[in-house]
Structure 1
Amino acid sequence: MTQPDPSSGPAAPASRGDAVDVIVVGAGPGGSATAAWLAKAGKHVVLLEKAAFPRDKICGDGLTPRAVRQLINLGVPLSETDGWAHNSGLRIIGGGMRLQLDWPDVTSFPGYGMVRGRADLDATLARHAASCGATLIERRNVSEPILDDAGRIVGVIAKVLDESGRATGETETYRAPVVVAADGVSSRLSVKLGREKREDRPMAVAVRAYYETPRHDDDYLESHLELWTTSPSGDRILMPGYGWLFGLGDGRMNVGLGILNTSEAFGRTDYKDVMRRWVDTMPAEWGINEDTITGPITAAALPMAFNRQPLYDNGLLLVGDAGGMVNPFNGEGIDYALEAGHAAAEIIVQALARPTASETERVLQTYNRRMKEMHGGYFMLGTQFAKLIGRPEIMRLATKYGLPRQTLMKFMLKLMANLPEERGGRIDDRIINALTRIAPAA
Structure 2
Amino acid sequence: MSVDVVVVGGGPVGLASAIEARLAGLTVTLIEQRDDTIDKACGEGLMPGALPLLARLGVEPEGMPLRGVSYRDAHRHADYLFRGGIGRGVRRTTLHSALTRRAEELGVERVTAKVERVDADATGVTVAGLRAGWLFAADGLHSPVRRLIGLERPGPRRARRFGLRQHFAVAPWSELIEVYWTRRSEVYITPVAPDIVGVAMLGGSRTDFAETVAGIPELAERLTGAEPASSLRGAGPFRQRAARPSKGRVLLVGDASGYVDAITGEGLRLGFAQARVAVAAATGGPAYDGQWRRVTRDFRVLTSGLVGAANSPLRAGIVPAASMLPGLYGAVVERLAR
Pairs within 5 Å for 1:28-427: 28-78=11-61, 83-103=62-82, 105-106=83-84, 111-137=85-111, 139-147=112-120, 154-157=125-128, 173-199=129-155, 204-215=161-172, 218-225=174-181, 227=182, 238=183, 240-259=184-203, 266=204, 269-271=205-207, 273=208, 275-281=209-215, 282-283=217-218, 285-288=221-224, 292-301=227-236, 303=238, 307-325=241-259, 330-350=264-284, 366-376=287-297, 378-391=299-312, 393-415=313-335, 417-419=336-338
Distance of 1:376 and 1:303 partners within structure 2:
18
Moved more, 406-415 or 335-344: 406-415
Q: Secondary structure at the match of 1:74?
A: coil
Structure exhibiting the larger radius of gyration computed from Cα positions:
1
Match of 1:354?
none
- Tell me which amino acid in the other structure corresponds to 1:97: R
The aligned length equals 335
Percent of aligned pairs with the same amino acid:
22
Q: CA RMSD in A?
A: 2.6
After superposition, the Cα gap between the structure-2 partners of 1:190 and 1:408, relative to the gap in structure 1 and judged at 3 Å, is closer
After superposition, the Cα gap between the structure-2 partners of 1:340 and 1:302, relative to the gap in structure 1 and judged at 3 Å, is farther
Q: Unpaired runs of 5+ in structure 2?
A: none
Q: Is this contact kept in 1: 2:260–2:303, CA < 8 A? A: no
Distance of 2:155 and 2:113 partners within structure 1:
30
Q: Secondary structure at the match of 1:114?
A: strand
- Tell me which amino acid in the other structure corresponds to 2:10: A
Moved more, 53-62 or 337-346: 53-62
Distance of 2:325 and 2:297 partners within structure 1:
29
Q: CA deviation at 1:310?
A: 1.8
Q: CA deviation at 1:191?
A: 0.7
| Cα shift readout 1:15-68 (whole Å, capped 9, x = no counterpart) | xxx111110011212211111111111111111222123231221111111211
Q: CA deviation at 1:204?
A: 3.3
Q: CA deviation at 1:117?
A: 1.2
Relative contact order higher in (CA < 8 Å, ≥ 6 apart): 2
Q: Unpaired runs of 5+ in structure 1?
A: 1-17, 158-172, 228-237, 260-265, 352-362, 420-442
Distance of 1:71 and 1:203 partners within structure 2:
31
Q: Secondary structure at the match of 2:193?
A: coil
Q: Secondary structure at the match of 2:117?
A: strand
After superposition, the Cα gap between the structure-2 partners of 1:199 and 1:325, relative to the gap in structure 1 and judged at 3 Å, is closer
After superposition, the Cα gap between the structure-2 partners of 1:399 and 1:99, relative to the gap in structure 1 and judged at 3 Å, is closer
Q: CA deviation at 1:214?
A: 2.6
TM-score (norm 2): 0.89
After superposition, the Cα gap between the structure-2 partners of 1:223 and 1:86, relative to the gap in structure 1 and judged at 3 Å, is same
| Cα shift readout 1:247-304 (whole Å, capped 9, x = no counterpart) | 1114221102113xxxxxx4xx411x1x211222445652356x61233322111645
Q: Is this contact kept in 2: 1:328–1:379, CA < 8 A? A: no
- Tell me which amino acid in the other structure corresponds to 1:256: A
- Tell me which amino acid in the other structure corresponds to 1:74: L
Q: Is this contact kept in 1: 2:273–2:295, CA < 8 A? A: no
Q: Is this contact kept in 1: 2:5–2:134, CA < 8 A? A: yes
- Tell me which amino acid in the other structure corresponds to 1:176: A
Distance of 2:264 and 2:160 partners within structure 1:
12
- Tell me which amino acid in the other structure corresponds to 1:396: A
Q: Is this contact kept in 2: 1:93–1:99, CA < 8 A? A: yes
Q: CA deviation at 1:410?
A: 1.8
TM-score (norm 1): 0.69
Distance of 1:117 and 1:316 partners within structure 2:
30
Q: Secondary structure at the match of 1:178?
A: strand
Q: CA deviation at 1:418?
A: 4.6
- Tell me which amino acid in the other structure corresponds to 1:89: G
Q: CA deviation at 1:187?
A: 0.8
Distance of 1:388 and 1:100 partners within structure 2:
20
| Cα shift readout 1:206-253 (whole Å, capped 9, x = no counterpart) | 1111111133x632211112x2xxxxxxxxxx3x12111111114221
After superposition, the Cα gap between the structure-2 partners of 1:327 and 1:295, relative to the gap in structure 1 and judged at 3 Å, is closer
- Tell me which amino acid in the other structure corresponds to 2:91: G
Q: CA deviation at 1:198?
A: 4.5
Q: Secondary structure at the match of 1:339?
A: helix
Match of 1:10?
none
Distance of 2:65 and 2:145 partners within structure 1:
35
Q: CA deviation at 1:203?
A: 5.8
Q: CA deviation at 1:142?
A: 2.2
Q: Is this contact kept in 1: 2:8–2:137, CA < 8 A? A: yes
Q: Is this contact kept in 2: 1:36–1:132, CA < 8 A? A: yes
Distance of 1:188 and 1:134 partners within structure 2:
22
Q: CA deviation at 1:96?
A: 1.0
